[in-house]
Structures are given as C-alpha cells and as structure tokens.
Structure 1
C-alpha cells in the first residue's frame, strides 16, 4: 500500500522558522542530489547553465555539497575534485539535470514565501560506464557519495542549520541494458534505495524516508542482441523495473522517460538541452513530493483483452491524451506492438478515444506481450530514430520551460512498457 508523506507539515514548520528575525533565523537545507552513471554526471552534455546566473536567479539558495556556489568541479576522487577546485578546472563541467530541478524548486519555494530560509543542496554522484552493482553499497562511488552527504550535513550543523535529504534523483541503467549485467534490476534498484535510505538516515538522524525520483532509460537498441519482435526482450528488464517501482512503491516517484529528447550523436547521452528539460520535470516531481502529492506520470493502469482487441487505460496526470508525431517522430503504430510467443507482431491498428487506447490485432492477443516504445534503429536513441512512442498527456499546455529563449512544453510522455496480457 502506498504510504502518505508528511513533507507538507515539515515545510509548514520550516516556514515558521523562516519568519524569525535574521539574528535568530534557522535555515534548513534540502539535499537533493543525483546519482547514477554517465547521464547522472552529464557526460557529453554541453553546459547551458551559467553558474553565476544560477546563483543570482535562485537568490543564492542553490548550493553544492560544500554548501557553497562553486559548481562544476566533479571528479572520481575527493582529492582530484579538490585539486580541480583549487586550480579552477571546469573542463568537464557538464550540464546536469539537477540544475534545472533546483531552479524549478527554488522558484516554487520563493513563490510560497520561504525566502532564503530553505536552501537546496544538489550535486552529482556515481560512476560512468557502470552497472548498478558497480555503484551500489560497498563501491567507491557509493562511499564518496555518502561522504559528500555527510560533509554537507556537518557544514550545516556548523552553521546551526537543519539538514534533511527528502529525495535523490536516479539516472542509471544504460550499462545494464547493453551488457545485461543485472539479473533482476527491479530488485537491485530497490535494494539500493533501501541501503541508501538506511545509511543517510544514520547520518542525518532524520525520520523521513528518502524517496528515489527515477527517470526511465530507453536505450534498448544499443544492445547488439536487441530484437523488437522477440517475445523475451531481456533489455526491457531495466526500464520495466524502473516503471514497476514507480507504479508500486511509495518510495519511488517518476520524472519521465528519455526517448522524447535529443541525444549526442543520437546514441548514449542526452544533450545539455535535454538534461535541462528533464531537470524541469524532475523539479515538478520534487515539488509534488514536498506537497504530499507524489508523481507517477503517464503509465498504463489496466489492460483488457476482448476478442482480437486490447484496451489500455492510463493514469493521465493532465488530460487529454495525445498521439503527438511532431515532438517525437512517428513510430510504427505510434510505438505500440503486440508480440506473441511465435515472435510475431500481430498489431494492426491503434486508435485513441476518451483517454483509452484500443489495439486491434489480426488474431487473439491473449498470451501475447503488449509493448510501447520497444522499437528503433540499431545503435540509436532519442526522439528521431531510437526506441520511442508518440503518446503524451497535455500538461505542457499549462506548464512550459524557457531555455535559451525558446519555450518547451512540459508534457508527461508515456513510459516504455512490456506487459503480458491474458
């Protein structure tokens, strides 16, 4: 059963402390870092965020793991990270999704009247080209991440500030898709959240559980063995595991899939613009979490087989549903397929009416797998050629993001899925 969170009450208390006089003001740090492999570290994502502008536009409420504004000195070891900071080496200061996330959350808190009583500490952690087992508890990357959280906590204590980790952002899975390392990704990711939750709470002494805000990785075609019509698609274990946890577990919420975005060379890494766009959606997920309205996103909730037809109902955050072939290049049958045990795609037609999707098949789909966004060109990712689909909601009609003077609608796009139906 889904738990209910009490972060709204927490923020009410923090608002009271924020209204005290400056001499007695009790600030609170909300630490929301990102962790994973190369996408979490922004690899190849040319930076859009100007660090000085980030500080100024957020009223100096967004801080690093050192509770300062010296962003962009990430390295694999604390010593190298320190050296980069000393010599001002920002050669690999890429765009990170959490910059956009922090901008959105900071603006929301300002609008709610928290001023500078609430600070956001955000920073990246993890290790590129690594499977989930290689960055989990016991690894060097995991220890460094915990050490940085503990360091931030100690600095907050020294300043007389409160410190809490309400959530962390997860961006990992590409390595496990390509090399099929994890045997049960859903179990492995849940264990990571359990370990991280326990270890961080031991540092901060907080009572609140730490929520994982997970994206969904969609780079199926980077696997040399991928076959979109194969009944057993091992590559789907990773994105499906992420989706299942978002749908079933109260300590997981979603930010969104990656297929609607542009990738560097259409391959592994989303680019700087895409990091920013996904970061804004992540920011909305953080806000909803803090307001006890956790986000699940656009995902299927019910599958019904009737004759040669499958009817799919969705959780639709912002109706109506739309089949959009402009923002995402048209995929056959809008990204849907129905694969039977003979490795045959039996789907003939897709229709959408009243937020219910109808899949008309050429024979009974009972015992087949209904799929979405399980397709694409070999070694490609993203909205033009990679595994993708055309189904979204209409959240972007009301919520947009302006990046480099261009407006981008913040729609929720349907998650990639693989569902056996009977």
Structure 2
C-alpha cells in the first residue's frame, strides 16, 4: 500500500515546493490523520490476528469498483489470506475473489452502490445503534464488538459512545413489585405463543410458581411465554415489555435475532407489599436475588455474556395505603435499586448501571389519599438519572379497583418496554410532564415536555372528569374555578380561571376525586384522571392488543416558575 503523502511532505516548512521563502507551513490535520491511519492499516496487516483487536481497521479500496447490491453495510467473509469469499446479508454476491487490504470483514458501499471502504480486524458493531449525524468512516470497538469510538467521515472528528446497556448476549429484565407485577386478575393469558429470542427460567416467568427450590425452578432457560400460575396469577406486564422491546428494536433497524442477542424475562414480586417489605433482608427479596444469581449462571453455562440493565418496578399502592411519607418512599426505593445493582456487579463481574423503570401509581382515590406517592415517583424520575417514569395508569382498563385486565397488564408492560427500548438506544425516556407554569392575570400557561407533538385532549378514551380535562387550580386549600382549557402551539395548555389569581396559584392534574366519585372504584371513567396525551403514532402488537401507545400526562402539582 502506497502512502498518500510522506511525513516529510506533510511537515515541510514552506507552502510552495519551489519557494522555501514562503515561510513555515502549518500541517493540515486531515493529512496527518490520513497518514496515521495508513500506518495503522499497514501495521494491522503485518500483525495479523495477534495485533490490537480493539481497532476496527478501515481502508479505502484504492479505486476498486466492485458493484454491490444495495447501498448499506455489506458484510463479507474472507478466506485465510484475506480474499473475499462471501458477503451478507440479503443475498449479496461474493466480491469476485478480489484481494482486499487486511482481513476484511465488512464493506461499505457508496451512494452509487460501489465499495469504497472496508472494515477489518474487528467486528462491525452489533448493538443495533443508529449513530446520529454524518456517516462514520472509522469505528473502534470494545472486546465484544460494540462501538465505543467513531470517527466522522466529514470532518475527521471523533465521537465516543458508552457501551449500550443491552450490550451482552443475554440481557435480563427483572420485573419486581407487588400484585401488578404478578398479573393478578389479568386473565385469561394473552401471550400464549413463545416470543422469539426471549427466555424465561424453567419454572416460568414467575419461576417460583413451579413450587420447587430456587435452584430447581431456575435450572435451565426455556422460550418465554406467559402462563397461569396459582390463582390469581395470570398475564404479567413482562410479556408486553419484552414484545415491545423486540418490536421497537426491529423498527429501529436491527432485530435481536440479527444482533445475536436474547432477552431473559423474570417476575419476582409479592402481593400487597410496601417498599420496605420488598427490600433486601426480607424473604420477598430472595426471589429477585435468585433470579439474578441464576441468570448469571445460566448465561455462563451457555458461554454467553450477561447484563441486567433494568428493573421494572410495579409498586406503590401498598405505600399509599400504609401512609408512607414521600421522602421515605424514594429513599427506600433508591436503596433497593442500589443494593440490587451492587449485588449484580458482584455476581456478574460487570459495572453497568441498573435502571429502575416504573409506572406512576394512579389509584390514590381508591385509598382516599392524596397522590403523594405518585408525585414522589415523578420527582425521583426527574432528579435521578437511573429512575425512569413511563406512564400513569389512569387510562388503562381495570379488572377491579386496583388490578388491571389482561389487556391492561400487557399494555402497561408495553409502556415499560418503550422505555427499555430507549435505554437500548442509549437514551433516557421522559414522559409527558410540565416544564413551566406562568400566569398573566387570570390566564395560566402550562408548557410541557411533549415526546411526540402536538398535545391532544382525548375525551373518547377517557371521559372528562371535571369539565377541565383533569386540570385544577388551587391556592393553598382553596379550589379556583376554571372557565376553559385549550391547547396552543402543540406543547402548551392555556387555563382560564373563573376568578382572580395570585402568584401562589398551583396547577394540579389528575389529582382530586371528581364530583360524584364512588369510593373504591378505578377506571378510565372513574376516579382522578385527565384527557391529555401526545401524538405518538406507535401501535404496539397490531395483530393482538393493537394498543396505541400515546404518552399520557403524568399526575402532577406545579406552582408558578
């Protein structure tokens, strides 16, 4: 391979080769980078497989113009001497036996379908991540083949990426909490067919439903599907969560099958338990701890890497009933998350953070309480990078006063799965929540973070609870009448008060029990609720529950900014 330019030319002291008097010349960084990468490529060829495998070598094909079917990344197998012998996917033909520089593993085509870059020595990233911005020319991978540094093709600069949370062969999602995590009264089972690329323990999603020892119930992995356990255990949110992650991974361009990865789903909760009763040191927690321990063991015996990126947290009702203070609730919940993270690190030998993905409990009216726990969940998600709030539950169908129907349970899982899929892409999911409240006379403007604008008032899915789409105005303990609510600009709700306001006014949403509320009921047509959601077009499980996953507004209280 010839060098484009020699070092003496790049670092020469004059700009005109025939006139040294033109002065000291500043070397062009683009030329330095090109020279350095040419050296790396030649060293890679000399070192062979014994060299530094952390680099994915990239080189131009020096004018070789082999047409390729399609205009995407084309993977090519090479023979022992580096000649192309086959290419994948989508039926691409072999590269005609052409000798490519180094041990080429993949080829990138230019807009006309001709090969112009070849990737060698490392694996092309298999994380499924779609890198933002311009086309990347060079990729550095970690030892398991996931992208960690990429060089931009347009300006030669570098971008660094953290290892994706789902960056292992086996990705474990642990579902934990109280009865909603177990699928109480969510019958009959909907997820009856095994989900592709998803596993549970041999005892099932709720492994200890099998009735044996912790070890026996987790002795092997089997294809994941929901199953009925001892009554009233039925459809848990886990099936919906895994199915939604898989659906969104495919929508973003790389199925788990394409990526060579698997999901492990397990549910380890206990009914009617507070955070304290689910915490380490209590027997309930042993199910969760054993799910992690045996998840690591089952991955190891298959020769797979293992990670636990998230706990799905299905809990809050028992702490409403117990009158747990918001401060104690969030402190105990974070302590549980952190302990689980440390235990996982100790048995798996990894150090990725463990996120807590939670719904916002919406049944405070049933307990005759204020939404203190719901507000604490929102506040913790806004303040803590590892706590994620996905959705309130007031719009879901209930089978009784606090438990969901089978469709409700699976749909709730899908909302958790939407947040997990965002983690898979390296993002933190944020719900529909207020970002600012301002007042002008009797008019209050509430601006929102809207995942997919514009905002919508939906009185078809949910009946209007109070004539104000769920919004309330309060000054201390006094309720202020509302004359109208409207949406402007796609992200702002305008509330017109029916009386004068002061600067102590507070906006509340889906908070107080509406007039005529019958105690002990919860549904989209009973109890505290609201009509505001975004315009997210995503439809979960279109051939099954066919649920439109709008992002519904969280329960909140917010004063003026």
State the TM-score bracket (shorter-chain normalisation): 0.7 to 0.9
CA contact (8 A) 2:170 2:307 kept: yes
CA contact (8 A) 2:394 2:523 kept: yes
Instruction: Look up the match of 1:230.
Output: none
Instruction: Look up the match of 1:101.
Output: 241
Q: Distance in 2 between matches of 1:419 and 1:167?
A: 29
Pick closer, same or farther for the CA change 1:90–1:237 going to 2, 3 Å: closer
**Partner of residue 294 from structure 1, selected from 414, 428, 441:** 428
**Partner of residue 392 from structure 1, selected from 512, 516, 533:** 533
Instruction: Look up the match of 1:370.
Output: 507
Instruction: Look up the match of 2:407.
Output: 273
Confirm whether residue 112 of structure 1 aligns to residue 248 of structure 2: no
Q: 1:382: Cα distance to partner?
A: 2.3
Confirm whether residue 348 of structure 1 aligns to residue 483 of structure 2: yes
Q: Distance in 1 between matches of 2:350 and 2:338?
A: 15
**Partner of residue 331 from structure 2, selected from 181, 187, 190:** 187
**Partner of residue 334 from structure 1, selected from 441, 446, 469:** 469
Instruction: Look up the match of 2:552.
Output: 413
Deviations 1:168-225 (A, max 9, x none): 111100111123134522333222222222222222221210111111110011223x
Q: 1:322: Cα distance to partner?
A: 0.3
| Equivalent position SS for 1:123 | strand
| Equivalent position SS for 1:352 | strand
In structure 1, the gaps of 5 or more residues are: 1-8, 19-25, 227-234
Pick closer, same or farther for the CA change 1:17–1:311 going to 2, 3 Å: same
**Partner of residue 156 from structure 1, selected from 287, 299, 312:** 299
Instruction: Look up the match of 1:45.
Output: 186
* Rg larger for: 2
Confirm whether residue 284 of structure 1 aligns to residue 418 of structure 2: yes
TM-score by length of 2: 0.64
Q: How does 1:26-175 map to 2 (within 5 A)?
A: 28-51=169-192, 53=193, 55=194, 58-59=195-196, 61-64=197-200, 66=201, 68=202, 70-71=204-205, 73-75=207-209, 79=213, 90-92=229-231, 93-109=233-249, 111-115=253-257, 117-175=260-318
CA RMSD of aligned residues (A): 2.9
Q: 1:16: Cα distance to partner?
A: 6.8
Deviations 1:337-374 (A, max 9, x none): 11222433443322211121112221214223311001
Deviations 1:213-248 (A, max 9, x none): 111110011223x3xxxxxxxx32210111112222
Confirm whether residue 323 of structure 1 aligns to residue 457 of structure 2: yes
| Equivalent position SS for 2:546 | strand
Q: 1:298: Cα distance to partner?
A: 0.5
Instruction: Look up the match of 2:22.
Output: none
Q: Which moved more, 1:167-176 or 1:133-142?
A: 133-142
Q: Which moved more, 1:142-151 or 1:160-169?
A: 142-151
Q: Distance in 2 between matches of 1:307 and 1:339?
A: 15
Instruction: Look up the match of 1:197.
Output: 341
Q: Distance in 2 between matches of 1:314 and 1:71?
A: 37
Q: Distance in 2 between matches of 1:328 and 1:15?
A: 50
CA contact (8 A) 2:215 2:294 kept: no
Q: Distance in 1 between matches of 2:464 and 2:210?
A: 40
Q: Relative CO higher for 1 or 2, CA cutoff 8 Å, sep ≥ 6? A: 1
Pick closer, same or farther for the CA change 1:380–1:321 going to 2, 3 Å: same
**Partner of residue 311 from structure 1, selected from 437, 445, 450:** 445
CA contact (8 A) 2:438 2:445 kept: yes
Pick closer, same or farther for the CA change 1:32–1:370 going to 2, 3 Å: same
CA contact (8 A) 1:74 1:81 kept: no
Q: Distance in 2 between matches of 1:76 and 1:373?
A: 40
Q: 1:329: Cα distance to partner?
A: 1.3
Confirm whether residue 382 of structure 1 aligns to residue 523 of structure 2: yes
Q: Distance in 2 between matches of 1:166 and 1:131?
A: 23
Q: Distance in 2 between matches of 1:193 and 1:75?
A: 24
Instruction: Look up the match of 1:176.
Output: 319
Instruction: Look up the match of 1:251.
Output: 386
Q: Distance in 2 between matches of 1:275 and 1:405?
A: 13
Pick closer, same or farther for the CA change 1:95–1:368 going to 2, 3 Å: same
**Partner of residue 207 from structure 1, selected from 325, 328, 351:** 351
The structure carrying a bigger helix percent of its residues is: 1
Pick closer, same or farther for the CA change 1:342–1:292 going to 2, 3 Å: same
TM-score by length of 1: 0.83
Q: Distance in 1 between matches of 2:217 and 2:378?
A: 39
Aligned residues: 387
In structure 2, the gaps of 5 or more residues are: 1-124, 129-140, 147-166, 220-226
Instruction: Look up the match of 1:360.
Output: 496
Pick closer, same or farther for the CA change 1:385–1:339 going to 2, 3 Å: same
Q: 1:49: Cα distance to partner?
A: 2.8
CA contact (8 A) 2:439 2:560 kept: yes
Instruction: Look up the match of 1:22.
Output: none
Q: Which moved more, 1:349-358 or 1:189-198?
A: 189-198
